[in-house]
A and B are shown apart, each in its own frame.
Chain A
């Protein structure tokens, strides 16, 4: 009998919702959001917190429009990083990851078939067009213009980072572990040269000087000089101690070394000393080029390009996109910069790949928004359930028993009213650790007060009604009267409060997350907005701001629509007048 009474009291709200058009819309939206939360892993296109990186064979070309210089991105060469390039007499070569080799002839680029699968770091073209390539694990191979490949065995599987031709048959190879190898291409014989440093530092680049000696530069700013007479290496002192990535020496003897942290070392002529020059940006520079006249170029990470007029200051030159540029290739009439390492796809506007764009760390915002529904609903419903559970019981007990019980309970409610929400949540977070549990606790601790008051006042009038008095006369226990006779009558009000507090809790959770008090590494709509504001990028990235706010709004709105129809049940006088 009692069960049926409960069922009956539950029936009415359901009927009310089904009978109201706005409430039906609300119900439909809410169910969609619930479905979104349940199926979030299937709906999201990416791992929501994964940094999305891209890689490509970027190709930039220098263009001059009046006195405006700009480095323009052309369509990329394939999908893997290109690490080095060289050009001589109409033939250009670029090499990259997984043994990729691209060939450039005056009319454009084409991929070459190679027998190599390891990453290539270096390429150098001989006068006759034969090209030596080298890379990871001691890979060294020679390509001949008749399109044949010849590979060479190295004594150790160390990474080779750069190549210079000593003469037509001897190549100088430098690389990891302070390796300096002289390779005789005819005999295939390799001579290892002893480095005077001997600490296993990486050597990154080598260039021949006008006097036939060679400069080798690498890790910790070390520079070695190879004496052509006796093949001995000596340590040279250069300014600075940052890793040097690339050296280029022009036929005139002008030289440029670039390195980490915007390192730029310039030598104005064969006899001049290397001098450190100040760079307009402090990020890593990967490749440099200097002309006979001293016109210099340097490229580096994040699409940074510097240029310098002979004897002038280095200037930052605008480039199209933030790719990590790794090498320069200079032909008779044009300049190419190639790359790119894996780069983070930051702040990308909505596209086919990322429907809602990406954030400042290249994380997919569509997936984040989808996952955000989970926390919102979890806090919304769990919080509301807890609030109503506490609030309804306190209200019921206080209203029914009155007297001292009521005083204590209602004074507690008074105290709760005096505590502001956000600062109190912060204290909770400081006392414990930020977690979902704390958020729910904060939300429920400070909202049950309203429910308790409302239920109590309803109970106050109900307990004087004849049916309660009758039950008392019949000898029913207090508990029985409270929960079997009074409670079903406040059920509509409880349902109404439940619905309203779901909405309130969702907003409260969003507020806490927006203030950075939400659980760490969880994704919530408020948290997405928090990140957007914190990063400083929100004023441009509308795709970052709009969706989470809209989602909060429609979720809460749908709950409010439902609550409105419940209000009619709780307060029949409204219905009568509709």
Chain B
């Protein structure tokens, strides 16, 4: 067997490899020359690069090996550790027990606001469990962060956000690996009119309202490999639950594809003073059971959420003191402190629940699926949810937006994996995919006459985060050099087949308003990486291993 194979087998068996030198030292035959050199410079610690398992995400898995190969070339001892997803999350966030980890943030509409992604570099988020496990600590960055979150003027905030990006980037606390396009498809012989939404693909809250049947069936069928954990608006902790519930619960405002808040159940939203927001409801709305939607329902819902302590919404409710009924159609939201995002993000996320049903329920989080109320006031009404199989909603004709909706209803078919979803799409069983297709399916879908393939750029990103608390990543020069030595171009070209973009900033280029196009890019350049290390006082031993 060749050595490469032997090594791989040994590596796979998990037997630790002992380098010649360690062996020599252990045997007491240390060479004088080595010893003399060791006093000046030492080998860098070997590092473990954690990534997801191949079955969880083949792209991130392969990306780790692309990175590791080049880092080894630079003289580091790198082990790639593919880890089950939740174990990786736990080690990264809770235990902060990692050297460097590849993970990602998904792009959710409310994350188009720069607040969340910037907060992942805030040093106050660096305690265990926080969103900054790498431990990047830059007081100047933190100060700017506070400034921007209170800046009401968009132009001023934009300047601050750009400044923050310019500030953190040269420190290279993380490598934004790439932005991956969501490649989805729909059957244009059955439905037309979809507008893809960044981060959401075609299965956005607008999708079913835009779809226009062109075939025989007017019930839109969406297929996906994930299903909601449950459809309890006070217990669901998955984005799949909320994507579906949003279709049958109304919100006060809705976010357009460009994250513009549009009045929805609210006729208007006005700022009374710094800490009071007045919302006037649209007239004549009813719940699916025929009861009218009143200001009292809205105020009840918000106060109920405050009381019930539903963690998933905590960040949206953080600024709220209480909601107060002013008259039949008017609600005042009293805030603890001025908040720029309350009127846009929070109002667009919290549903309106019927008071006459929920006021009877003391502890909403323990409801079983059969006890969970499903009455909303949204453009669709709940029909059924057969766990592991399918969900259905039908158009609610009394809704104020009903005339603009061309479909009769929506059905969501739950498959075991993307294989099943693709087969469903191919055979016409479903009309739209709710989740991105695998690379191998894309080319197949492109060759099908009845399918339209859509590339939707994402603003969520995949990142490789260094643990700044540990050597050698406590040294900025090492991080910079390793960033330059990461061939991200290759990831996009080979792994994504060009359907994506090399990572630049935590604020993605599709997020045009907030993205700073002129920050340092760290293009792949091994020579520059070596130069960076040399300048910082690193050297290489006769075997090409990096020393300091």
Contacts and interface: CB of A to CB of B under 8 A. Distances in A.
**Does A touch B (CB under 8 Å) in the complex?**
yes
Interface of A: 38, 40-41, 51, 199, 220-221, 240-242, 260-262, 281-284, 301-302, 344, 346-347, 360-362, 371, 374-375, 378, 429-430, 433-437, 515-516, 519-522, 530-531, 533-541
Contact of B14 (A281, A283, A429, A433): A433
B12 A519 contact: yes
A537 B441 contact: yes
B14 A535 contact: no
Interface string B67-86: 00000000000001111100
Nearest to A281: B455
Contacts of B4: 41
B448 to A, nearest CB: 12
25 contacts: A40-B1, A41-B1, A41-B2, A221-B517, A240-B512, A242-B509, A282-B455, A282-B499, A283-B455, A301-B498, A344-B493, A361-B62, A430-B87, A436-B9, A437-B13, A516-B53, A516-B56, A521-B65, A522-B8, A535-B438, A535-B439, A536-B437, A536-B439, A537-B444, A541-B440
Given A261-B509, A516-B55, A541-B440, 14 more contacts: A38-B1, A41-B5, A220-B518, A241-B517, A261-B501, A282-B499, A284-B498, A347-B440, A371-B5, A533-B419, A534-B58, A536-B418, A536-B419, A536-B441
Nearest to A241: B517
A208 to B, nearest CB: 27
B5 A374 contact: yes
A520 B82 contact: yes
Nearest to A201: B518
Given A282-B455, A282-B457, A536-B418, A521 B80 contact: yes
A536 B425 CA distance: 13
Contacts of B512: 240-241
B181 A302 contact: no
Given A515-B55, A516-B55, A519-B12, A241 B494 contact: no
Contact of A534 (B5, B55, B81, B422): B55
B14 A435 contact: yes
Contacts of B422: 536
Contacts of B55: 515-516, 530, 534
Q: Taking each of A241, A360, A533, A536, which has the highest tally of chain B beta carbons within 10 Å of its own beta carbon?
A: A536
A521 B12 CA distance: 8
B495 interface: yes
Contacts of B493: 301, 344
Contacts, number: 121
Given A261-B457, A361-B494, A430-B87, A536 B14 contact: no
Contacts of B65: 521
Contacts of B437: 536
Contact of B12 (A221, A242, A522, A534): A522
A434 B62 contact: no
Given A221-B517, A282-B457, A516-B55, A436 B13 contact: yes
Contacts of A430: 84, 87
Contact of A521 (B8, B84, B444): B8
Interface string B82-101: 11100100000000000000
Contact of A40 (B5, B56, B440): B5
A121 to B, nearest CB: 17
A536 B423 CA distance: 10
A237 to B, nearest CB: 12
Contacts of A375: 12
B83 A433 contact: yes
A371 B2 CA distance: 12
A260 B495 CA distance: 17
Contacts of B455: 262, 281-283
Contacts of B397: none
Nearest to B3: A41
Nearest to A304: B498
B517 A535 contact: no
Interface in B330-373: none
Q: Taking each of B11, B438, B497, which has the highest tally of chain A beta carbons within 10 Å of its own beta carbon?
A: B497
A240 B457 CA distance: 14
B518 A436 contact: no
Contacts of B441: 536-537
Contacts of A347: 440
Contact of B444 (A434, A520, A536): A536
Contacts of B494: 51, 344, 361-362
4 A-B pairs with the lowest CB-CB distances in the bound complex, closest first: A516-B55, A537-B440, A241-B517, A536-B438
Q: Taking each of A430, A436, A519, A520, which has the highest tally of chain B beta carbons within 10 Å of its own beta carbon?
A: A520
A436 B14 contact: yes
Contacts of B181: 282
A437 B419 contact: no
A515 B515 CA distance: 40
B475 interface: no
Contacts of B499: 282-283
Nearest to A361: B494
Contact of B53 (A378, A520, A533): A520
A530 B438 CA distance: 14
A199 to B, nearest CB: 7
B328 interface: no
A539 B444 contact: yes
A534 B498 CA distance: 19
Contact of B80 (A38, A435, A520, A534): A520
A363 B82 CA distance: 20
B14 A437 contact: yes
A521 B79 CA distance: 12
A220 B516 CA distance: 10
Contacts of A522: 8-9, 12
